[in-house]
A and B are shown apart, each in its own frame.
Chain A
Amino acid sequence: MNLILFTFIVLLGFTSYYFGRKKAYTIQSTKKRLTALPQFYGYYLAIWCAIPAFIIFSLWAIFEPTIVKLLILSDYSNQGYLDDELNLIYEKTKALSRGQFTGEITPFIEASAEKYLSLRSIAQSSKVVIVLSAIIASVAYAYKRISSNSRTREPVEKFLNAVLFTASLAAILTTVGIVFSLIFQTIDFFKVIPLFDFVFGTHWYPAKAFVRDSSEALDPTMYSDTFGAVPIFAGTFFIAFIAMCVAIPIGLMSGIYLAEYASYKVRQYAKPLIEILAGIPTVVYGFFAALTVGPFLKELGTSMGLEVSAESALAAGGVMGIMIIPFISSLSDDVITSVPQSLRDGSYAMGATKSETIKRVIFPAALPGIVGSILLGVSRAIGETMIVVMASGLAANLTLNPLESTSTITAQIVVILIGDQAFGDPKTQAAFALGMSLFLVTLCLNIVALRVVKKYREKYE
């Protein structure tokens, strides 16, 4: 029903556009000059069609359920029901009206369900009537109003402005919402686990915090030595560090090669090939790390008399580094290419060789962009999940030995949230606390990145 109504309104919108433009043409044919192009007259009418429809639809969506509920439950007032019980009755009524109710049907509820259905159909048909009449009224009003010297361009532009503003507002509000949900859960978590234990504790065994009933959940003594985040923070930065050790040199050098040395033909083929590397899903990298690189390193280590875990930080970090190479290479290639040719000419004309020119002129000029691309790589490394879950182990060891297994923030969030979990359980909330810290870390990283880039910009522009 709603879909048909919606289609109809869209059709109405097109029709009003057509009529608005037609009226504009008619005015034009009387040799009068219009204040805007004819299509603006059309858009103007279409907007007058869309706005009332949108307002009424939203009001309906907000108020209809509440009003229907009030009307249904008014039958049960003065009978001494509690609020919870009334809610239950209402849910039963709705379920019955959909034919999904399986329990015992009382005559009361049956009557309510019938009433519910009739209310809904009244609401639906009145909505149709109100929406359509509102649209027709507003379009007719606007149609009468437009004349040769009425302003249509400005309202249309303003409307577009408002639409674009709403879109960006939606993006911002979503982010704010996510951050707030993180904050509240995190606060709840720290009510049970002291912040100090979380930040400085060196033991992370969330499995220990398995809760049987809710009275147990609030007993802080059972969580001592359970949620110490030092090992997983250390693991996160350690693996990110290994990844950057692989990605920065290889990525930068291949970027420089592509931008400065590669012939046109090589560049034409090599650049898309490297970008394909960026398109490989991280899961694929994950099993590459877990099934190929990990066992290979273990065998290699064993043959050299070293003890290597099959799930080592080195395997995960190394593969993650390979994953990040295309980002750094492609971005630094772009920034290096965008350094003006006049600087290269200036340097060559002084008798500098290619490598001197790159080292002394091009690299410094491209540095802000290169630093930006590296920091982007770092935040990807810190946020990367799949590779570490699959290849670096899930036990949070506090170690700086790349041959042992370690775990990261993201991997632990996965571990905690896989399977059944109860809301309000510190174990679940720990995931939010970890998410919050991850968010803070990447936020700081981005702020630092922006400041660094800005500082170099000032120096080099």
Chain B
Amino acid sequence: MKKNGVKMIKIKAKDVDVFYGKKQALFNISLDIEENQVTALIGPSGCGKSTFLRCLNRMNDVIDICSVKGEILINDFNINDKGCDVVRLREKIGMVFQKPNPFPKTLYENVSYGPTIHGIAQSKQEMDEIVETSLKKAALWEEVKDRLHEPGTGLSGGQQQRLCIARAISVRPEVILMDEPCSALDPIATAQIEELIDELKKEHTIIIVTHSMAQAARVSQNTGFFHLGQLIEHGSTDKIFKNPDNKKTQDYITGRFG
């Protein structure tokens, strides 16, 4: 989105290196992510796009041997600083995973999980509203409103993934990270999620890792192409897909390797 013709940058990554033990997984990544846009990260398997995504909400902290160097500025604040509160950071940066991972709880408890641990809702009524709006935004409300107190694991794959999206947006994050959110879903569920992504970008900045070129082309405004831990090229999706600067990008997009 442009304000007064100037692109608003939400996330600014500067010279990010990631190591798994001694093995370097990401080399010198610098990438700007625009606010209220969908940015797609594409590239062959093992190229580091998921690793980069996990840097943005410090999920790599969970992995013992992983270390991250460089600056990642979100709203001009470096999240790799020692002073960064990971709990607050992850409240602001939601995440949706490759495989739907609803908690073994009821639908209601799944969505109210985030607001509960962050103390967002003051009353039961407020919580009910949050759950309802989140499910509505995730286009799941109509299907599940009569069985909110049934286990979330009883839904279909596509519904589970939308439940996970509802869970992620329940704390009104500024950014939503999606790690191949449709790879475990059938085409109809995929279409629903893609539609949803388009809707969500009005209020959230979205970064999506995907293996599907077509999906990247359909949902994103910007695209970054990763290869062997390096960011080869990034820019508007139109440009990357129609007129890439780099030969490798062109080869990957036209399906010559990857």
Contacts and interface: CB of A to CB of B under 8 A. Distances in A.
Interface in B211-234: none
B113 A345 contact: no
Interface string A327-362: 000000000000010111111111111001000110
Given A350-B114, A350-B167, A350-B171, A345 B62 contact: yes
Contacts of B118: 351
Contacts of B14: none
A223 to B, nearest CB: 55
B57 A347 contact: no
Contacts of B151: 459-460
Contact of B87 (A346, A353, A461): A353
A459 B105 CA distance: 8
Interface string B138-160: 00000000000001010000000
B97 to A, nearest CB: 6
A352 B95 CA distance: 13
A365 B109 CA distance: 14
Contacts of A364: 103-105
A6 to B, nearest CB: 57
A342 B95 contact: no
B76 interface: no
A285 to B, nearest CB: 37
Task: With a 10 A CB-CB cut-off, give which of A342, A349, A356, A461 has the most chain B CB atoms.
Answer: A349
A264 interface: yes
Q: Kindly state the interface size class of chain B when it binds its partner.
A: 20 to 34
Given A342-B99, A343-B103, A343-B104, A350 B113 contact: yes
Contact of A349 (B90, B102, B153): B90
Contact of A350 (B104, B153, B168): B168
B90 A356 contact: no
A351 B89 contact: yes
B101 A461 contact: no
B117 interface: yes
Given A346-B164, A460-B153, A360 B101 contact: no
**Interface SS majority for chain A:** helix
Contacts of A365: 103-104
B35 interface: no
A350 B117 contact: yes
A263 B64 CA distance: 9
Interface in A278-331: none
A353 B151 CA distance: 23
Contacts of B84: none
Given A264-B64, A344-B62, A460-B151, A351 B101 contact: no
B217 to A, nearest CB: 27
B242 interface: no
Nearest to A346: B101
B88 interface: yes
Interface residues of A, number: 23
A345 B101 contact: yes
A146 B151 CA distance: 59
Contacts of B64: 263-264
Interface string B91-119: 10011010101111100000001100110
Interface in A436-461: 459-461
Contacts of A353: 87, 117
Contacts of A361: 103-105
A31 B114 CA distance: 72
A263 B168 CA distance: 29
B90 A461 contact: no
A349 B57 contact: yes
Contact of A351 (B62, B103, B117, B153): B117
B191 interface: no
B103 A346 contact: yes
A224 to B, nearest CB: 56
Interface centre among B62, B102, B117, B167 (most CB of A within 10 A): B117
A344 B95 CA distance: 13
B98 to A, nearest CB: 9
A461 B153 contact: yes
Nearest to B177: A349
Contacts of B95: 349
A262 to B, nearest CB: 12
A360 B116 CA distance: 11
A446 B245 CA distance: 69
Interface in B160-199: 164, 167-168, 171
A345 B59 contact: yes
A340 B100 CA distance: 12
B87 A351 contact: yes
A263 to B, nearest CB: 8
B101 A342 contact: yes
A346 B57 CA distance: 12
Given A351-B114, A360-B113, 10 more contacts: A263-B64, A343-B103, A345-B97, A349-B90, A349-B94, A350-B114, A351-B86, A356-B117, A361-B103, A461-B153
9 contacts: A346-B164, A349-B95, A350-B94, A350-B168, A350-B171, A351-B86, A351-B88, A351-B91, A459-B151
